[in-house]
Each structure stands twice: as structure tokens, then as C-alpha cells.
Structure 1
């Protein structure tokens, strides 16, 4: 540990994460979970940590005796869960309902002392992990590319800078304000999407589409298969590459950024507005890309001729998420079938009906996307402020 001359005077401390004052322990979860126990203890895996929260829709459960053998990671309220496999560095805070649950080997559990929580150390570490500089360090220390894995030792050795108390108090207040605004924006995006879905149900019911024979997907859009990530070659450009998990983890039907890029000829890029379709167990999820993108392996991209068609197709596919499982392939049904999917029957009304629906739905989607983009800007602003001061840029 050492002190450095900070921009607001002496007092900045840089130390390894495991040695940060206020951190009680840093552990990883259950190594051998055994068979699923439907009545067992919920276990949070890396894939369950989505957008800063725990997704409880498909939790694994372990037998009580396995849980008892892994008491070090029996969760408490306000533990910080950090992804060690895949989206390394993503994190979520446990809430009272998670007390007594456990974590998988793919998740690190950072526990804080009462004094550390009172001093805001948990909040500081969570935001520090979100900084681009930190993410680069974590990726540099990880093994593999497609399935990056960070060791617990490397996480413990991560360098963390802490400001003097007066500055930390001010920055924590800024973080708190940003988090409250982010939460409001998430509700706005969610409610706007729900309203669009409700209007779709009203239009579909009013036109009697639920009782009519369908129209094949191939008749209303162009279906494009996904592809693996590619390295840079002459004549190619860097384009956002969407992994299936990013589509599946999206809380709204919008994808406006990806974690990885690929290198392709520009004329092969899917333009903004392209629909991306990805499967998970028992369901298929559809989102609209807000950026130029290349769909990843196992996914499909859908190009429509107009915004009117895109709006109806997006909501039609969302309403038939469970039925679309019949268009997947593979033993675990984790890839879309390029052969089956175009034959799937849709409810497709007259253009006048689709136009009236689009007139209502487009502004709702625009509001949802604006709220999500404001959240990105808020996060970047807070991270820039904390890391900039740590580096003496203020």
C-alpha cells in the first residue's frame, strides 16, 4: 500500500483489492454443485448477473448438504458478486432476499465489514470494477478469449485507488444520485416497452389475427445467419459483434452496444434497425439493434423493408417467444435453425393496420432507447470523474 499526492491534496491510497480497508473476504463459490435439486438452495452463476442485478428467472439450486460444505460463500445482504467467467468484472449487490443463497465457482463473493459498508467501500469497489481501465486490466489477466476466465488471485491483486474521506464522501454522493437516476430510467424503458406490447396485443386482437392463418417469416423479411468473430484482414472494418448472451440478457428489446467487435467487409454489416433473434431454454428472444452489428453464432438477423414492418415483426416475435422454440436446433436447442425459422407462420395484417401500430409504437421505443442511452452516459460520467481524479486529471 502506498499514498500518492492526489489532485485535492495528499491522501489517495492505492492498494490491492484484497487489502482495501473495509473488505472482509474475497472468495469464489461452489466448485462441485452436483445435481440440481428443485427444492434446494438457490445458487447464483455468472450468467445470472445481468445489468448490475441478479436475474432470478432460471436459477440453479444445490442440495442443502452441498450448501453446508460451502459456507464461506453462503450469501449475506450487501455482498458484491463479481463475474469471473465470460463477462469478467460485471457485478451485482445481493439484496435481503438473497441472504442464505450461494454462489457458483464462476462468481467471486466480496464481503465487507460493517465499517466498510458504512464508509461506502462496497459502492466504490463496484464502480471501480466498471471503469474501462479496470476492465482492461482484468481482461489482460484472464485466460482465453471466447470464454475469458479471471482467477481469484488476479482479482485479489487488482490495484484500487481510494481518495481521502472528504473527497470519497462527495464522489459517493454523486454515485448515489447517478444510481437513482439510472433506476428511474430503467423503469421508464421497461414501462415504455410494456406499453408498446400492450398496444400490440390490442391491435392484434382487434384485427382478429389470433384466429387467422399465418404468413411465413420469409415472406416479410430477409433472414441472415450469424457468424463467428473474425480477425482483422485487409479491406475489413471493425464492427460491433453481438453474442447471443447479449441479446438474451437485454432487459428491453434494444441493443445499443456490444462487448466485442469483429472485422468484416462493410457491405456485410447489418444496419441499425436489424432484428436479432437468439434462443434460450424454452424461449426465443428478439431485439432491435440500434447500431451497425454482426450477429454471432447460433443467432439470426432479420432485415425488413420498412420501420412499419420492423415494429410489427418485433412485437409479433416477442409475443410468440415460446412457440419459436420449434425453430431452434441442436441438442440443447441453443441455436436458431436457418432452415426452420423462415417457415414459421406469423400474424401479418394489412399495411394500414401495421402503420397505425407503428405510429404508436415507434415513439415508445424511442423513449425507451433514450433512457438506456442516458444511463450509459451517466455511468461513463461517474467513472470518468472517479478515475480521472485518481489519475490526477482534475
Structure 2
């Protein structure tokens, strides 16, 4: 298939009725707190997708009023203000009904014979768009901002519709598999949490605490002024590494340190499968590192004495995040101190029950971790294929073979 591409602006596509772009609804506090459509704030569009948990909702009787700003399946979405300006997302089929906030814009194909909606989503991840975004996103005194006028000036190189659909199908097959893995992971974790809730339901809090049954430690940051501390082979974990995860299994970190860096910070090199929990600002997000890793000062690290107790303590911690938040303090941001955490009493079954629980949930975590690992590989392949397909350097049939072999 020849790679014939037409360079066109968003404004031209809008004029021809092919593309619609828009922004969100400015909600009043009095309009929220009901059980109607979700009000989707820009902060809930994360690197790993939409965060639906705990989202505010409109009162049901306002549904008709907010309909013009309601998301539709296959919208491409972009954040337009703040340090996250330019983060993009996609509204999958079957997504909950939600309304865009003012700091989200949507791009909607109105003619699928001219513009494939899923192709548009992948184009939003391309270097062609990212370079334009970098030039367009201008700052106010407070933060970067991308206006609707800016978006109308965006130029897109559109291949023929058959190639658009081919690219979307190839990359979409990878994303579909990733989404299936995420469902597997979520189901496994839900089963494990439910099993814990059922097992611990009749237990009372005793004299044991987190600090009395496990080693509770923390981390630190090597001097950023000392170059020899950074860029080595040791994973060094920050809360951002963990909050970006779609499942609590950490395979790599955005920054690494050297042995000298490890020797000159407050963190140890913790073994794989230690329990990492964020303890600052965002409290109670968990990760089980799949490789040995150090952490910065934004974590509480729990080192259980046995494999069986690891799974029990992990789920006891996951079940009590609300209580941990209530114990946190701080004027700039909330922080749960190790002292307060260590003193928290725990529910602890006898050794046989703990062992049986571990035997039940360990395979669930193993399945979830394998699905998460496969998704990482698939995402890396998608990110490798995307620029090659978008530039026309890779043929659709060749990309299909690569995807088939990977699957």
C-alpha cells in the first residue's frame, strides 16, 4: 500500500466536518455530589489511563444539561493546563459515562471514512504531534496552557484511510491485549483482597503491631550534586514510579543509582518482593518490586520475616489505607511517620491460617505479575512500532507479522 499522505490542519478538518474538538464543563460545587455522570478532572487522566475510583458525580437531574460536554467512545483526549499539559488519553468502548472538565479537550472523528478515530489516538502519541505541542503550549505566569485556538493550528499528515485503519488495527491489537491483561490483574487482586477480607473478618486486633512482626524501614536520596551517585545499575524508587503503575508490581524505575550512591543515602538495597508503600502526599499506594531496589524518603518499607507473612501483611496494609491517612500529619503535605505506622495494631491469624492464606493468594499475585510483565513488553513493542508506522518506514503486513510473533 503506497504511503500517500495529505498534510492538513485541524481547522481544515473541522471546516470539512471531519473533526470536532472541544473542551469541558465548568462545574459548580453545588452540581456535584450526586449519582449521575462522572465529572472527569484532568488529574484523573494518568500515564496509565483513567482513574475512576472515587470520582465526583453530577446530580442525575443535570444529565441533560451536561450532555454537550459528555465523552463519547473513541474520543482522543488531551490535558490543556498545568505541568501535565499534552498528556493524552482515549475513551474506550464501554467506558463509564463521564463529562469533561475545563482542563481537558477532546478530538472526535465525525467521518470515519476520512479519519479513523483510533488512528487519531495513536497519532497523538507520535513525534509529529509532540514536536508541535512543544512549540504551541505557551505558559502563563502560573502554568503551561494549550488553547482551542492552538489546537486548531495543529497539522496532521493523514495517510489514505486504508493505511489509517491498518495502523490502528496493528497497534490496537497490542493495546487490546494489554487491556485484557489489566482485567486479569484487577480480577486477581480483587480475589486476593476478598479472600483476605473473608479470612480476617472474625479476627480482633491483638497486641501485635506492624513493627513487632516485621522490619519496618525507609529510604533516602543520595546527593543530587554528586554525579558519581547516579546512573548506575541499582533501581532507585520514587513515589511517582509507584503511583504510575496500573498494578502493584514494580519492574524498573525511572532513575538509578550507583553503589556509591547507595552507600551515601538512607536506603538499603531491599530484596525483590519487599512491600513498598508510599507514605507522603499520596499515602497507601503499594508496590512489590520484582528486582532488588532502593527507595527515597517517600516510602515505608516492610520486610516480613517469612514468605507466608508477606501476603498477610500486604493485604492487612491494603485494607487499612484510610486509617493510615487519618494518622498522617504535616503542614505542606500529609506524611505517615514510620513511628505511627509501626505502632498500628494488626489482625493476625494463627500460623496455619496465615500459611493457608498465602497458599491461596500467592498464585493470584503470580498470575497478576506475569500479566503485568507481558503488558510491559507489549507496550514497549507498541512504542517501537508506532513511529515506524506513522512515518511510513514500516509496512502494515510486516508490522502484523511482528505482532503475531509477539502474541
Q: Is the 8 A contact 1:12 1:162 kept in 2?
A: yes
Q: 1:82 aligns with which of 66, 78, 84?
A: 78
Provide structure 2 residue ranges, at least 5 long, that are not aligned to the other structure: 395-407
Matches for 1:8-27 after TM superposition, within 5 Å: 9-15=2-8, 24-27=19-22
Inter-CA distance 47–353: structure 2 relative to 1 (3 Å threshold) = same
Q: Considering only aligned residues, what root-mean-square deviation do their CA atoms show, in Å?
A: 4.4
TM-score when scaled to structure 2? 0.72
Matches for 1:222-301 after TM superposition, within 5 Å: 222-224=216-218, 230=224, 233-237=227-231, 239=235, 241-243=237-239, 247=242, 250-256=245-251, 260-261=254-255, 265-267=261-263, 268=267, 269-278=269-278, 284-291=284-291, 295=295, 298-301=298-301
Number of the residue aligned with 1:93: 91
Deviations 1:151-200 (A, max 9, x none): 24666655644333333232222234334323322222122222323443
Q: Per-residue deviation at 1:45? A: 0.8
Number of the residue aligned with 1:4: none
Q: Is the 8 A contact 2:247 2:372 kept in 1?
A: no
Q: Is the 8 A contact 2:283 2:336 kept in 1?
A: no
1:128 aligns with 2:123: yes
Number of the residue aligned with 1:196: 192
TM-score when scaled to structure 1? 0.74
Q: Is the 8 A contact 1:18 1:26 kept in 2?
A: no
Provide structure 1 residue ranges, at least 5 long, that are not aligned to the other structure: 1-7
Q: Per-residue deviation at 1:386? A: 3.3
SS at match of 1:169: helix
SS at match of 2:206: coil
Q: Is the 8 A contact 1:276 1:288 kept in 2?
A: yes
Deviations 1:351-376 (A, max 9, x none): 55444433333322121111122223
Matches for 1:382-393 after TM superposition, within 5 Å: 382-393=382-393
Inter-CA distance 166–62: structure 2 relative to 1 (3 Å threshold) = closer
Q: Distance in 2 between matches of 1:305 and 1:161?
A: 58
Q: Is the 8 A contact 2:116 2:165 kept in 1?
A: no
Inter-CA distance 74–354: structure 2 relative to 1 (3 Å threshold) = closer
Q: Distance in 2 between matches of 1:187 and 1:62?
A: 27
Q: Distance in 2 between matches of 1:305 and 1:227?
A: 26
Q: Is the 8 A contact 2:237 2:294 kept in 1?
A: yes
Q: Distance in 1 between matches of 2:337 and 2:103?
A: 30
Q: Distance in 2 between matches of 1:228 and 1:43?
A: 41
SS at match of 1:339: helix
Number of the residue aligned with 1:60: 56
Matches for 1:1-394 after TM superposition, within 5 Å: 9-15=2-8, 24-30=19-25, 33=28, 37-39=32-34, 42-50=38-46, 53-61=49-57, 73-84=69-80, 85-87=82-84, 88-93=86-91, 101-113=98-110, 115-116=111-112, 121-130=116-125, 149=144, 151-152=146-147, 160-201=156-197, 203-204=199-200, 210-219=203-212, 220-224=214-218, 230=224, 233-237=227-231, 239=235, 241-243=237-239, 247=242, 250-256=245-251, 260-261=254-255, 265-267=261-263, 268=267, 269-278=269-278, 284-291=284-291, 295=295, 298-330=298-330, 334-349=334-349, 351=351, 353-394=353-394
Number of the residue aligned with 2:399: none
